[in-house]
Structure 1
């Protein structure tokens, strides 16, 4: 054993001497895993090699020479915990540049540990206003939970647009929400964009315009910028990262062990199924199963349901029973949970996704998560295995960039030195990712050509001027300039805004029914709902009649259970999965469109008094009390909020109640008292405890 260790150290040292540092680090991590597996203490020689490779957090103090102990202490920083932590060499490099006031765009592996750099910067620099843009609501809550524990005593942590800023603020938003605070904040000390590759249409064609819009408008009020992404080889010249230093880092803290099973499987479905089941039953560990599409999630789910036994676990049985009671008894997830498997996708209720990730982190919880690409942009969790079931991303093939992002989810510092990747479908060919960020034409109408002339071409300036002329003819120059200055429009599609404005000005009588949305009789809504839906024909992923029926049924969301609502919608063949999809579409996409319609009608049809702000508020919060809907982003499901309301612990009908006010109430009460007063069962107690963990501080 000692001879093997010395031989490996010798090999790693030779690689370091010959400047093959990445290969040396990979061999070193495998050697550390060997020590961990066999419970072997590190020797001074091994600690010396760890230091040379820059992996300072892995140093073992007890067996280090004074030089390594010195390095371990020198690279310690305060990241908001009670005790400082040691950064690795490249983390320290980035932190140094940020503390010097530099703006940087960084490409680093998933296992890099980027959050430590952000947290250390906030703790040391103590900026007044920090804005962090993340790609999804799930990452919003994950980031909030991490920062709330550390900084809630000093900063107001804001994740929803209804909250007023405080003296010092950390804003954590998806890009669409970020614009809302542009006029409320004089400046941002730092703009942090996680997964900034999504500014490229190649990687996110639907949402890239809104991210570019945020980068342009918020970037102009930001003193410093820090953009993060994985797997970027080079960054093409573009106006959005101008003046930023691009730093590509290939510095992994775990080793990926790839098993290319697709070579034997080929296209044999039975072999593929047996291979998956073999991996899942080989040993008890945590696995992320990338299915690629919703259809393939069903395929993998059925495979597990038919072949894996139920797990003897009170936690999982309680979870399954809770799902059956509150969502749907015959839902695949209800039965999967009993077999130690969960589902992660972008449609589920936010709290439900968070609860599954929490149960996945438990030793006796879920062992497997079946996922779409939401797992790479919605959660940072620790899994030893990543299994690639299908080389698909929705309707398209996986590109090499996304593939590497997915497999990078295996392994985690201090948990799994070696991440195991099982590839059951042929992966994409290797390619360098050169990030190109062209200016999206959709947002030209929302850009001030004088203020942003340094990022615009002559042709784009000409298009802006032409658009301004058209909109000024419809709205009047003063009104148009006012709306643009207020960032009044939700949509990043300027042409859509223009087409709605033109229709209102030329066909005002066609909008006469708009005010009926304020009626308490939901049968009065139909005509106007269809009119709004038809502004984006084919853009709702379901038939118009089904969507209208869903909106009307959801009016009872606070008063009926989800199983009751599904029974009401049986005639429209709406499954529990459809329910999630339609609710998400209503609260985000449909509500945003209606906000723009309302903004325009106030200016074009103002003499008719059609204001539908109240209805917009209802649908934006899925017809739930506002704070109840907001608390779901914090991990508290509506079903528990309803029980707390009925027990008169918190009055969610109180129009003066704010999200932060509700959190203050929760923090003044104890979990055990709430459980007893609201008669919560064991799993609801578990959820409530998890929710409280997300609103607690370290100090």
Structure 2
């Protein structure tokens, strides 16, 4: 063995001499995996090569000489953990630049460890207000959990709207929620945007305008900016990043071992591909992420696993399956998949369900295989030893090289899996350099001030802005329109939609008569106005208009009825559990945002009517649940357990003064043990969920004062 190690060290050294640092690092990681597999100690030569390649966290102080031990200690930094952690060379370089106050946009692989740099910056710089914009609510909670454990004694960690600020705050939001704080926070010490490539229209057509809007308006309040993304080769000239240094860091801490098995599958034959997939899973008895690409492919894989795999003798998974049957739908395919050690991750599921499955995937005796859409790269920082590309698709479109690299980057994990095994069952996209283009979107022009932002616009866009302002001024008057813009009153980043609503209110005021009836909890009286509102955005609801209207009226009883009861009422409209998730998300996000824009405009245009539907907007934005119950789902606590708390008088969710932070204080004051003892009807899996939930909110007495 020692001879093999020496020969490998010789090859790595030759690569370093030839200035092929990346290749040398890849070979070294494979050598470290060999040591790990064979339980070998690192000799001084291996430690020396670790130092030369910049992988300082991998150094073994016990077998290093004094120079390597010095490096290992010199690159240690406080990231809020119980003990300082050693950064690798490129992490340390980024941290140094941030501490110098520079604005940085960085492209680095998934395994780079970008979060450690953020944590170290906060610990060392001690900023007052930190804004972190993340792409999804799932990643919001994951980031909150990480930072809460490290910084809740110094900072108020804020992930929801309408929160009273503390002296020092860390804000963690998707961009749409972040915009609510434009007029609340005067200054951010640093604005961090994770996955900032989504500002590019070609990467996220639906949400890029709102991210660009956030980058402009919140960026003005930020003393420093730090943007992060993977796999970007260059950034076009644009006003949003012109004051930033761009650093491309091809610095992997794991090695990706690719198995191009699509050559063995003739014409993408499904039967052949299924056999190859099952063979991979049988031979690799470790955790596997299976990228399905589309919801229909998830269904195909679900059928494959149900027909092939037997139920496991696993008490934890059986409990979870029974919990899903009781609380969701006994016919749901996931209830059967879970018993076979397979989970499903997609963007439609309730936040708590996605979090529970990721937790089970991380458990040794939990879920073995996780089928996913692209949500696994957008919504959670998890990884596995094996990543299997079942389909080269992202929805209807083929995967581009950028997204493909993002997915396979989930393979491997520092200190756990030196080598990530990538199994490719369909021909991957051609390799390409990815330039990030951030064109200024026409959709948001109407929300900008010509004097303040004119320098960002083309001549054509300035003309468009002038035309839009003239039309809006003619409808509601110059001062009123300017007031709404200055207050950032509009949720939509689509100026044409705002104009369309304003014109409809102005020209058809009688059609909006009785709008206030929506505030009255009488769903049978809502039909006419619900149809009126959803027709402002036809085709936006992923369901027939009648189905969507009936769904809204049905989930008005979301707190008083169980999901199985609601599904029973929705049977006539062909709304099953998957459709339920999708439509509920559309109500809480798309529909409530539209309502807010309608309300902001009608209060200024239909002045004599005196309408205000804020109460109904509140109902919709929280899925007709008590506000804190809905927010707690983002923290990993399902509504079913909150109902049991309410019934057992553990906490009063009807209390109008209750906030998410007050609720967390109450949970901590009572304590997990007492809550479990006093709550009626908790089953064993409820208690498992509570372990996960309390792990994310535990605070000390000092933290309770923040």
CA shift for structure 1 position 39: 0.3
How do 1:77-476 residues align onto structure 2 when only pairs under 5 Å count?
77-266=77-266, 267-476=268-477
Partners in 2 of 1:183 and 1:561 — Cα distance? 39
Partners in 1 of 2:456 and 2:13 — Cα distance? 48
Moved more, 254-263 or 266-275: 266-275
Matching residue of 1:486 = 487
1:694 aligns with 2:685: no
SS in structure 2 of the partner of residue 124 of structure 1:
helix
Partners in 1 of 2:24 and 2:654 — Cα distance? 61
Moved more, 371-380 or 281-290: 281-290
Matching residue of 1:28 = 28
CA shift for structure 1 position 697: 4.6
Partners in 1 of 2:22 and 2:118 — Cα distance? 25
Asked whether the 8 Å contact 1:391–1:426 carries over to 2, the reply is yes
Asked whether the 8 Å contact 2:356–2:636 carries over to 1, the reply is yes
What does the per-residue CA deviation read over 1:376-397, in whole Å, with 9 as the maximum and x for residues that have no partner?
Answer: 0101113101100100100111
Asked whether the 8 Å contact 1:258–1:422 carries over to 2, the reply is yes
- The CA RMSD measured in Å over matched residues stands at 0.9
Partners in 1 of 2:36 and 2:413 — Cα distance? 14
Asked whether the 8 Å contact 1:444–1:460 carries over to 2, the reply is yes
Q: Which runs of 5+ in 2 are unaligned?
A: none
CA shift for structure 1 position 653: 0.6
Asked whether the 8 Å contact 2:668–2:699 carries over to 1, the reply is no
Partners in 1 of 2:146 and 2:226 — Cα distance? 18
CA shift for structure 1 position 283: 3.0
Partners in 1 of 2:298 and 2:15 — Cα distance? 43
Moved more, 509-518 or 602-611: 509-518
Matching residue of 2:562 = 561
Asked whether the 8 Å contact 1:675–1:681 carries over to 2, the reply is no
Matching residue of 2:638 = 637
Matching residue of 1:681 = 683
Partners in 2 of 1:285 and 1:311 — Cα distance? 15
Tell me the TM-score normalized by structure 1. 0.99
Asked whether the 8 Å contact 1:55–1:253 carries over to 2, the reply is yes
Partners in 1 of 2:542 and 2:659 — Cα distance? 33
What does the per-residue CA deviation read over 1:231-254, in whole Å, with 9 as the maximum and x for residues that have no partner?
Answer: 001111111001100000100000
CA shift for structure 1 position 672: 2.2
Partners in 1 of 2:629 and 2:46 — Cα distance? 53
SS in structure 2 of the partner of residue 451 of structure 1:
helix
Matching residue of 2:74 = 74
1:510 aligns with 2:488: no
Asked whether the 8 Å contact 1:513–1:527 carries over to 2, the reply is no
Asked whether the 8 Å contact 1:351–1:636 carries over to 2, the reply is yes
Matching residue of 1:610 = 611
SS in structure 2 of the partner of residue 51 of structure 1:
helix
What does the per-residue CA deviation read over 1:142-191, in whole Å, with 9 as the maximum and x for residues that have no partner?
Answer: 00000000001110100011212211110000000111111111111001
What does the per-residue CA deviation read over 1:505-548, in whole Å, with 9 as the maximum and x for residues that have no partner?
Answer: 11111111322212222111000000111111111110000011
Asked whether the 8 Å contact 2:141–2:635 carries over to 1, the reply is yes
CA shift for structure 1 position 606: 1.8
Asked whether the 8 Å contact 1:138–1:354 carries over to 2, the reply is yes
Tell me the TM-score normalized by structure 2. 0.98
SS in structure 2 of the partner of residue 33 of structure 1:
helix
Partners in 1 of 2:669 and 2:462 — Cα distance? 55
Partners in 1 of 2:199 and 2:699 — Cα distance? 33
Partners in 2 of 1:223 and 1:696 — Cα distance? 32
- How many pairs does the alignment contain? 699
